[in-house]
């Protein structure tokens, strides 16, 4: 990973995260830990452009950081992709694309930042399929 805690705070400077020393505020140490966690699963070789790779680093780091903040807030409870909820006669439905809900992608679909990382990475995750005309000889 090429980003630092300082870079992260500069990128997410519009209130997405509250920076400080008491929960739910985020410390530089929390950001550094999230960068390391993201680095453990991030493949920079997927991205052909440096700018795209860096954006994906920011959002994957934010996903891990948000997951840690959510875990601290819920005393370690896990979160899962939510499709609908209701309270007091009001209901809300959200649809997460099926490909995000399956397999190894489901973990990233649990936060907005993880979903954004997946959307930016999707073009690099799909493989190319090519057909070449030919024949075999006996």
Residue 66, in any domain of the structure? yes
Residue 135, in any domain of the structure? no
58 closest CA partner among 44, 38, 72: 38
pLDDT grade, residue 27 (50/70/90)? very high
Structural domain of 77 = 5-125
C-alpha 39/C-alpha 34 separation (Å) is 8
Residue 16, in any domain of the structure? yes
**Tens of pLDDT along 3-23?**
999 999 999 999 999 999 987
Residue 101, in any domain of the structure? yes
Residue 132, in any domain of the structure? no
At residue 119, the pLDDT reads 73
**Tens of pLDDT along 30-71?**
999 999 999 988 889 888 899 999 999 999 999 989 988 887
Residue 11, in any domain of the structure? yes
96 closest CA partner among 86, 88, 107, 87: 107
- How many domains are there within the chain? 1
**Tens of pLDDT along 115-137?**
878 877 876 676 665 667 777 77
131 contacts: CB under 8 Å, gap ≥ 6: none
Residue 72, in any domain of the structure? yes
Residue 136, in any domain of the structure? no
């Amino acid at each position: 990973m090429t980003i630092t805690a300082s870079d992260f705070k500069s990128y997410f400077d519009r209130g997405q995260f509250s920076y400080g020393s008491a929960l739910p505020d985020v410390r530089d140490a929390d950001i550094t830990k999230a960068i390391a966690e993201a680095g453990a699963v991030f493949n920079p070789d997927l991205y052909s452009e440096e700018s795209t790779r860096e954006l994906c680093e920011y959002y994957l780091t934010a996903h891990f950081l948000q997951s840690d903040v959510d875990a601290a807030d819920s005393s370690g409870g896990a979160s899962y992709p939510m499709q609908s909820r209701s309270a007091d006669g009001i209901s809300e439905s959200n649809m997460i694309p099926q490909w995000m809900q399956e397999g190894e992608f489901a973990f990233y679909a649990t936060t907005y930042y993880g979903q954004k990382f997946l959307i930016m990475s999707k073009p690099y995750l799909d493989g190319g399929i090519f057909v070449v005309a030919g024949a075999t000889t006996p």
